[in-house]
Each structure stands twice: as C-alpha cells, then as structure tokens.
Amino acid sequence: MREFASDPPEEERVGDALRDAGHTVATAESCTGGLIGSLLTDVPGSSDYFDRSLVTYSYDAKRHELAVSREALDEDGAVSEAVAREMAAGVRDVADTTWGVATTGIAGPEGGLPGKPVGTVFVGIAYAAPWGSGDSYTRVKRFEYDGSRTQVKEQIARGALRLLAEEVASVGGD
C-alpha cells in the first residue's frame, strides 16, 4: 500500500509532528475502512500519539458511535461536508484526543451520485484546543481521486494524513 506514498511516507511525517507537538489523534473512517489507522500503526512507537480508529461505515454506526445527527445524514447524505465535520468532532470528543480525522466518500467502482462522482471524499479534521481558549475548530476539505477502489482508498488515506500534518504544523505544540 505504497503506490501513492511520499518519501518519507505521510504516516511517518504526521507521526513525528504529533509526537513533537505532544498531541494525540483518533480517526473515524467510513470509505477508508480503517486504512488510516492501519497506516498510522505501521509506524513503530505510534502508541505515543494514536488512540483509536472507529470504522463507521453505516448510518447507524455514525449515529451510535460518533453522535452524527440524523438531520445531517437525512439532509446531506453520508458523503457530505456536514457528516465529515460531525464525524471528526465526534471521534475527537469520544476519544478525548487533540485531533480527530474523519473520511466519508465513494471509493467505487460504483455508487457515484450527481455532483458526487466515484472518488469523491470529504475529509474532516477537528482540533481540541486547550479548555477556555475558544480555539477549537473543525475543518472539512473535499477531494476527488481517480483509480481502482484500492487506489482511491489509499489516496484518500494519504491525503487525510497530509491534511492532518498541515493542521498540526499550523497550531504548533502544547
């Protein structure tokens, strides 16, 4: 699973950034099915910063494990900015980590929708700033990738890790 890896791989770079900042991360994965967690745990010493990965593939799993609202799922569908936002904040808060990362998308080869072709993904990144600072936030980015199902999944996972590394760098350490 290194067809789309950078050198050094994203999982190593983000791991170093999290460790250096003294931060922790948890993931909520739908279309990536646990791949982000798998990549993170490929790195020796990842227990310093990685807490858990929840694979919440169904609507029910998103609601029960992450408190994603019925309204977001009904109004926007699972593959949406709103759901990615709630997934990222939900896993961050459930795990009580510094960061929450979420993916929800269409890995293919079927399942594309009008305005959401195969390869569409929303990646949510949620940051828990120190209590009382008012600096906590959640951001979502939309991406579109091409390739087979496994290629799309790897691109999504690596893209999410790159996005996380950028966010960790933007807030610095504790």
In a domain, 3, yes or no: no
> Is 33 contained in some domain?
yes
Question: What is residue 173's predicted lDDT score, i.e. its pLDDT?
Answer: 66
Is 5 part of a structural domain of the chain? Answer: no
- Contact between 89 and 82 under an 8 Å Cβ cutoff? The reply is no
* Domain with 48 in it: 10-171
Give residue-wise pLDDT tens across range 97-149.
999 999 999 999 999 989 999 999 999 999 999 999 999 999 999 999 999 99
Q: Are 65 and 94 in contact (CB under 8 A)?
A: yes
Q: Measured between alpha carbons, how far is 52 from 26 in angstroms, rounded to an integer?
A: 5
- Measured CA to CA, the distance from residue 127 to residue 168 in angstroms comes to 9
Residue 1 has pLDDT above 70, yes or no: no
Q: Give the global pTM.
A: 0.96
Q: Is residue 113 part of a domain?
A: yes
124 located within any domain: yes
- Over its C-alpha atoms, the chain yields an Rg (Å, rounded) of 15
Q: What pLDDT is stored for residue 42 in this prediction?
A: 97
Condensed to tens digits (0 to 9), the pLDDT of residues 52-73 reads 999 999 999 999 999 999 999 9
CATH code, domain carrying 120 = 3.90.950.20
Percent of the chain with pLDDT over 70: 98
How do residues 146-174 score in pLDDT, each as one tens digit?
999 999 999 999 999 999 999 999 997 66
In a domain, 1, yes or no: no
Question: Across all residues in the chain, what is the average pLDDT?
Answer: 96
Count structural domains, the chain. Answer: 1
Closest alpha carbon to 140 in 122, 121, 119, 116: 122
Q: What are phi and psi of 124, to 5 degrees?
A: -105, 140
At 78, the pLDDT band (50, 70, 90 cuts) reads very high
Q: Would you say residue 83 lies in a domain? A: yes
Residue 24 has pLDDT above 80, yes or no: yes
Strand, helix or coil at 120?
strand
165 in a structural domain: yes
* pLDDT given at position 99: 98
